[in-house]
Amino acid sequence: MSTDSTVYIAGAGVISAIGNNVAEHLVAFKDEKAGMAGITLLDTIHKDKLPVAEVKLTNEELIEITGLREHNSRTALLSLAAAQEALADAGIPYFKTLRTGFISANTVGGMDRSEDFFVKFLADNSKGKLKNVYDHECGSMTETVADKLGISDFITTISTACSSSANAIFYGARLIRNDVLDVVVAGGADALTKFTLNGFNTLMILDEAFCKPFDENRKGLNLGEGAGYVVLVSDKIAKTLNKPLYCKLSGYNNSNDAYHQTASSPDGTGSYMAMQGALKKSGLQPSDISYINLHGTGTPNNDSAEGTAVKRVFDPVYPPMSSTKSFTGHTLGASGGVEAVFSALAIKHKIIYPNLRFETRMNELSFEPEKKFLTDQPVNHVMSNSFGFGGNCTSLIFSAV
C-alpha cells in the first residue's frame, strides 16, 4: 500500500438531460429546471405516454463532440463525452507517463444499435448492419472509450445494476490506495433503449407524470440517460497539480441484502449496511454528514426502504437530503457516477440540491427532503447512495480537503 492512501477527486465530467457539461448542470440546479419531457429520440410505442429524461443531443451531435465513429453505441458516445470533460478538468499534464486506469459501468451496452439491427433483420434477414451488433456487450463500451482516452494500463467494466458506477469509483480508489495505479477515471454511462423502457414498464414502476421522490404520493420513476466520471488521484499526484482539488473519497461500502431480484428489502437492510459501512470506513459519525444525495428513485418500494434505513442510521437528527433524480431521471448504471459528480460539486460550491415536486412527507418517516436550492452551506461531508437490483447497495462518502 502507498505511504499515504488518501484518494482525491481532481476532475469531474457529466452529461445528462439537464446539461451537456458541469457548468450547464450547475445552472439547471440553480434554476430548478428538470430534464424530463416527452420521448423524442426513441422509436417506441410509449412515445406519447411516458416521460423520460433524454440527453438533448442527437447521436450525430455527440459524434461531432467526441470524434467517435458513426457505428458506436449512444452509451459509448455519452461515456466519452463525460470522461473527456473529466480528464480535461483534472489537467494532469504528464498523464501518459503515469499508471492509469479506466473503470466504467453500464447496464445496456450497445443495446440501442442491436435494436436497430433486429428491426431490419427480422423484416428481411438479408438486411441489417452486422457492425451494429458487433459491440453489443457492456465491455465494448469501456474498451472503445479507454482507447480514445489513451488509457491502456488497467481497463475494466462493472455492471451491478444501479450501483454500478458507484462500485466503479470505489474500486478505482482501492487500486490507488494499494499502489496499483496513480490515476483512475471512474464512473459510468447508460443510454435509453427500448429494451430498458419496456423492462421497467413491465415491472410497473414507471410514473406517467414527472417523478416525485420521497413523496407520500409517489408512483414510480422516470428513466433517464447520461454519464458521469470523476478523476481519482493518489496523494502523490494530487500534490503536483496546479488546480484545487474537489474533495477526497473518504468512505465507501458495498453490501447486499439478497432479498429479491428487483425489490429492496422492506426494512432497508442492504441500504443500512451500505451507509453504516461507508461511515465506518470514513471514520465519521452520522452527525458529521452535511448532505445526503439519496438514491431516491420515486418508486414506493425504494423510497420506503431507503427512508427506513436513513431513519435507522440518522434518527433523531437528520442532515439535509434530496434526490437529484428529480432533475435527471434515473440514469441506471450511470447514476452513481453522475451523482458522485454532484456530490463533489456540492462540496466545492457549498450547495445543496432541491428535491423537485416534493409536496407531502411520507407517513412512516419523520423527515423530508430539501425543497429549495441552497447556497453558502457548510457542506463538508456528502453521502451518496446508489442501491441496485438484486440488493446490490453502495454508499460513497466525499469529504472536503
295 is catalytic: yes
Residue of 125, 55, 91, 23 whose CA lies nearest to 329:
55
Kindly give, in sequence order, each residue whose CB lies less than 8 Å from that of residue 261, ignoring residues fewer than 6 positions away: 389, 390
345 close to 86: Cβ distance less than 8 angstroms:
no
Cell numbers found for residue 275: 451507509
162 is catalytic: yes
132 close to 163: Cβ distance less than 8 angstroms:
no
Torsion of CA 239, 149, 187, 174, to 10 degrees: -50
Q: Which residues pair with 393 in a beta bridge?
A: 255, 387
Give 188-201 as a DSSP string: EEE---HHHHHHHH
Which one of 25, 138, 211, 295 is the catalytic residue?
Answer: 295
Which one of 25, 138, 247, 330 is the catalytic residue?
Answer: 330
260 is catalytic: no
Which one of 25, 138, 162, 211 is the catalytic residue?
Answer: 162
Give 16-47 as a DSSP string: BTTBSSHHHHHHHHHTT----B---SS--TTT
Residue of 303, 310, 309 whose CA lies nearest to 289:
310
Q: Which residues are catalytic?
A: 162, 295, 330
